[in-house]
Amino acid sequence: MIDVEKTLISQYANSPVLCTLISNFNQYIDPSEEIQHFYDMVWNIDTAEGFGLDFWGKVVGISREIVINNRNQFIGSTLASDDLKQYSAGERHFMNDAMFRKMILMKAMSNIIYATAYNINGLLLALFEKRGRAYFIKSGTMSARYIFEFNLSAAEKAVLISTDLLPRPTGVLIDFYEPDIKKTFGFIEANMAPFGDGAFYIGDR
């Protein structure tokens, strides 16, 4: 506090002992030197670390701890067995700060987004623009699909499949797909779906 003397009531203001104690105490707990540090480590989501990110995780409703197993590693026709070599079945994994920050931002935007395909694709572009193409398409009546044209890590797959991290339009069935772009060509058309709106054709493996 800058002017602690102004906060003393008159009956204590002239007591040298009390004034000395209060002045010393004020110096010991002066937060001015730590305010910027607190802001950087906790309050600013872009620079927060450790405890700060754990705090933000509680705010948006996501935990740093995830469980990695085969059930949350299967996306479309690709089972990333190579990604699982460093994990054992049912292993608990704690996201590092960089990944946890991205998941927090994703969950925060998911909490407030108007879940249309246009808005969801804008969200995916902002989150994954440095990784590759990720987009949201309508795959049928009251069903939609998230497609990732790059390899998600085992931890990312576990989070995306096991939680409602990505936006989900009300009443719409959502699935996830991670095609092998080198082995994918064209589309399998179905019923009244227009060209380019069907499922990916994987081809012979």
The per-residue DSSP string of 7-24 comes to: GS-HHHHT-HHHHHHHHH
Q: Is 194 left (phi over 0), alpha (psi -120 to 50) or beta?
A: beta
Q: Within its chain, how far is the Cα of 145 from the centroid? A: 19
Mean pLDDT of the chain: 74
Lookup: tokens for 179: 């095609």
What burial letters (b/e) apply to 24-33, b meaning 16+ CB within 10 Å?
eeeeeeeeee
Local confidence band at 202 (pLDDT 50, 70, 90 cut-offs): very low
3-state helix, strand, coil in the chain (%, to 5): 45, 15, 40
Task: Give the span between the Cα atoms of 70 and 158, in whole angstroms.
Answer: 9
Task: Give the span between the Cα atoms of 146 and 115, in whole angstroms.
Answer: 13
For residue 123, give every residue at least 6 positions away whose Cβ sits within 8 Å of its Cβ, in sequence order, or none: 106, 109, 110, 113, 167
Give tens-digit pLDDT for 15-36: 888 888 878 877 777 777 778 8
Which is nearest to 158 in space by CA: 65, 86, 76, 78? 65
Give tens-digit pLDDT for 118-149: 888 888 888 787 888 888 888 778 888 888 88
Task: Note the pLDDT of residue 56.
Answer: 92
Residue 4, pLDDT above cutoff 80? no
Q: Where are the domains of the chain?
A: 4-30, 61-200
Residue 68, pLDDT above cutoff 70? no
Task: Note the pLDDT of residue 184.
Answer: 59
Residue 80, pLDDT above cutoff 70? no
Whole-prediction pTM value? 0.58
Task: Give the span between the Cα atoms of 50 and 187, in whole angstroms.
Answer: 45
